[in-house]
Structure 1
Amino acid sequence: MLFALGLGLRLAAQEDKPLRLDVKLVSLFVNVTDKTGAIVGGLTKEDFKITEDSRPQNIAVFERQSEMPLNLTLAIDTSSSTYKDRSIEQQAAKKFVHALLRSQDQMSVIEFDTFVTELADFTNKVSLIDHGLDRMRGEGGTALYDAIYLGSKSLGKKDGRKVLVLVTDGGDTVKGSTYNEALEMALRDEVMIYSIIDVPIEASAGRDLGGEHALIQLSEDTGGKHFYVDAGGLDKAFARVSDDLRTQYMIGYYPHNQEPGRAFHRIDVTVPRAATESFNIRHKTGYYAEPRKTRD
């Protein structure tokens, strides 16, 4: 009888202890603009609502302008079709690096033509990035999806914000990684893709509309953005990327009441007090729950 009573007391004590689950914080970097494209600042934690698979979530972390370290890979298309713009790309990229990089940030540079080549490993030394940009060469095809796949995989080893900036004039032209593989790797490693699209003349027969649409969708699905190189040139496009990164809300939540058996959890962020059409809210579409399966 005493044994049974003791066992009962121990079980009761165990039941009183809070159940602790190893739930990973889901981090979102959110940009909000109005109908004119102007950045909407000054929103508070209470302004946002988050759902995961249509189930409401509680915001645990909120920052108006994230000071988290920025890990950025600059991936530049150096295929044959971009040769004429090589020096312009180099100079514009250097201005971007000098304006954006802070002491707590890390940046790397890769070029992609038929293959993907690292020009500078992650560093916060501007001189090393400049040296890497000076080494740009390249010719041949455009291994765009390989660049996204490998760039995201490398960024996935870092902590903080992870951003892949692509500078390219079109779509993938080599048989390597697929669109779906590239997108999945970016989402799994929480990489935001910013596409700077430098297309030929609008009516040109060589314009790759399918490649452009793929770049736009990749950017939207990962919470990044796409920009076309227009009258302001690459300098203006890089400046717009920099502005976008400086005006992100950081929102985090610990998932609860999850729908079991889902491999991919879809996220939606809204600002309920505003009319649906008032704000454009950008963020990644969701995240994968199960471990990543990488290829050799």
Structure 2
Amino acid sequence: MIMKSKLFVTFTRCRTSCSKLQQFRVTGASAFRAGILHMVLLLLVPAGIYAQPQIHATGVHAWGSQVDVRFHVRCGNGFTQQFTMQNMMVEDNQQDLTANATLQCNGVGGISAALVFDASGSMSGPGNAAAKEAGRIFIDSLDGVIDEATVIWFSTVVNIQQQMTTIKPLLYGAVDAIPALGGTAVWDAVYAGLIELINNGVNSTRVVIVLTDGVDAASTRTPDEIINLARRNRIPVFNVLLGDHGDDVELRQIADETYGGFYQCDDGAEVLVAYDEIYEEIRAATHDCVISYTGACPDGREHWVNLGVLQTCGGDDTTYIAYTALYDSSVAQEVHMSFGDISGSADAGTVKVPLNLDAPIGTGIFRSCFINLRYDTSYLSFRSAVIPTGSLIEGVTLNVTEFPSTSVNLETMSDKLVSGTGNLLELEFDVKSVFDTT
């Protein structure tokens, strides 16, 4: 029995100068009933191994094939930087890039914080009181020596009440002077906080902390501009929303994409808890190291970094963090594939499924790639994968690694000049039970 596959495949392929092993995403409906056969981008991230050290990734900065990952390591109740690159491992979308990585730890630094407060009319009363109390408590935690902050409040306009300083009485006075009148220009204020940090923040740990209760109605800046500026300068933005009437979607997006945090609070007491949690996270970040590596594919896709510390504090630990790579068309290209007509039948016990190239490749070169194939193991059992005679990539070596009852990894080992469209691979499966192929 033969049926037409409805699976549409889209993936990104990189040149060999970018990476030899490349993973790709596949979207679309399954060729078999209820998704019996499908291919996906495999994001296997080993769980953290229980041990004395605890590694925590705090942010990623990526441009081209260069990636910087910030992280810190706890050892018992404290932090440690007593490790070298020999104690580290890093994988980007399962590709081991440890050999290309470098490690930088600069010791313990201070905090540079932009404290941004909503001073619109809707904050009058309990909201304004919560802002002042949260600000004073945060300032209490600063060391008054190298830690520094700026106090910015906003209504319809943005006011830098106190420029960056380590002098705590000046900061207390600025917080106590926050008014409550006018409209809401939250995006302009966040952007101003970033500019103040970029121009005047001297510490390596720089953050913006925002408290607001409303919807932006007066800004000329946009959330995208905030995200771009923050990411270029590696500054996380922490957004605290008081109540449920604010720009929660945009505030959360800014926090997520800058590796900050988003907190939605019902009252002033929850605001104080949020500020305490933010401070603890920021203080931990002053112990950050940076691991840098090259070789990540600038494919415009989501990447997962698996980061590990080994033989430190008497043990090992791993963590992971995601980022979206920039797209560079000079080293990445879109390739469209789909499953073709299935030959064989469930009654016969085996079926063969071709994987075809649906559209010509712009460069004409089918680059070496890594494919993860998943299928419904209640219906199918993997039998083989081959590059058949007449395939567009005939002559290329195909490595096949099977993970019983889970998936199959397929790796083409070299580039091939191809013309037009046609068949790439042939997959064969044993059928465990009869299913509807109509």
Same fold (TM > 0.5): yes
State yes or no: 1:247 paired with 2:289.
Answer: no
Cα distance, 1:144 vs. partner?
1.3
Q: Which residue of 249, 263, 268 maps to 1:213?
A: 249
Residue in 1 that maps onto 2:238: 194
Cα distance, 1:87 vs. partner?
2.1
Q: Is the 8 A contact 2:184 2:217 kept in 1?
A: yes
Residue in 2 that maps onto 1:60: 102
Structure 1 residues 198 and 48, CA, compared in 2 at 3 Å: closer, same or farther? farther
Distance 2:108 2:326 in 1: 23
State yes or no: 1:121 paired with 2:158.
Answer: no
Larger radius of gyration: 2
Cα distance, 1:166 vs. partner?
0.5
SS of alignment partner, residue 142 of structure 1: coil
Residue in 2 that maps onto 1:203: none
Structure 1 residues 255 and 272, CA, compared in 2 at 3 Å: closer, same or farther? closer
Q: Is the 8 A contact 2:308 2:318 kept in 1?
A: no
Cα distance, 1:88 vs. partner?
2.5
Deviation track 1:70-119 (CA, whole Å, cap 9, x = no partner) reads: 11000001111111221232122101111134521111010011111001
Structure 1 residues 186 and 270, CA, compared in 2 at 3 Å: closer, same or farther? same
Q: Which residue of 219, 226, 229 maps to 2:262?
A: 226
Residue in 1 that maps onto 2:139: 97
Q: Is the 8 A contact 1:32 1:280 kept in 2?
A: no
Distance 2:234 2:288 in 1: 13
Residue in 1 that maps onto 2:223: 179
State yes or no: 1:152 paired with 2:190.
Answer: no
Cα distance, 1:233 vs. partner?
2.6
Distance 1:106 1:256 in 2: 34
Distance 1:257 1:171 in 2: 42
Alignment-mate amino acid for residue 72 of structure 1: A
Distance 1:66 1:233 in 2: 33
Higher strand share: 2
Identity %: 20
Cα distance, 1:197 vs. partner?
1.5
Distance 1:244 1:212 in 2: 21
Residue in 2 that maps onto 1:72: 113
Residue in 2 that maps onto 1:8: none
Higher helix share: 1
Residue in 1 that maps onto 2:404: none
Deviation track 1:185-222 (CA, whole Å, cap 9, x = no partner) reads: 1112221111112114xxxxxx24xx112111111111
Distance 1:108 1:68 in 2: 18
Q: RMSD value over aligned CA atoms?
A: 3.9
SS of alignment partner, residue 118 of structure 1: strand
SS of alignment partner, residue 288 of structure 2: strand
Alignment-mate amino acid for residue 164 of structure 1: V
State yes or no: 1:132 paired with 2:170.
Answer: no
Aligned length: 246
Residue in 2 that maps onto 1:164: 208
SS of alignment partner, residue 170 of structure 1: coil
Residue in 2 that maps onto 1:109: 151
SS of alignment partner, residue 159 of structure 2: strand
Distance 2:80 2:231 in 1: 28
Structure 1 residues 146 and 61, CA, compared in 2 at 3 Å: closer, same or farther? same
Distance 1:239 1:145 in 2: 24
Cα distance, 1:225 vs. partner?
1.1
SS of alignment partner, residue 71 of structure 1: strand
Q: TM-score, normalised by structure 2?
A: 0.48
Q: Is the 8 A contact 1:96 1:235 kept in 2?
A: no
Q: Is the 8 A contact 1:267 1:284 kept in 2?
A: yes
Structure 1 residues 255 and 144, CA, compared in 2 at 3 Å: closer, same or farther? same
Cα distance, 1:170 vs. partner?
3.3
Residue in 2 that maps onto 1:21: none
SS of alignment partner, residue 156 of structure 1: helix
Q: Which residue of 294, 313, 319 maps to 1:256?
A: 294
Distance 2:233 2:192 in 1: 11
Cα distance, 1:250 vs. partner?
2.0
Name stretches of at least 5 consecutive residues in structure 1 with no aligned partner.
Answer: 1-24, 34-38, 201-206, 290-296
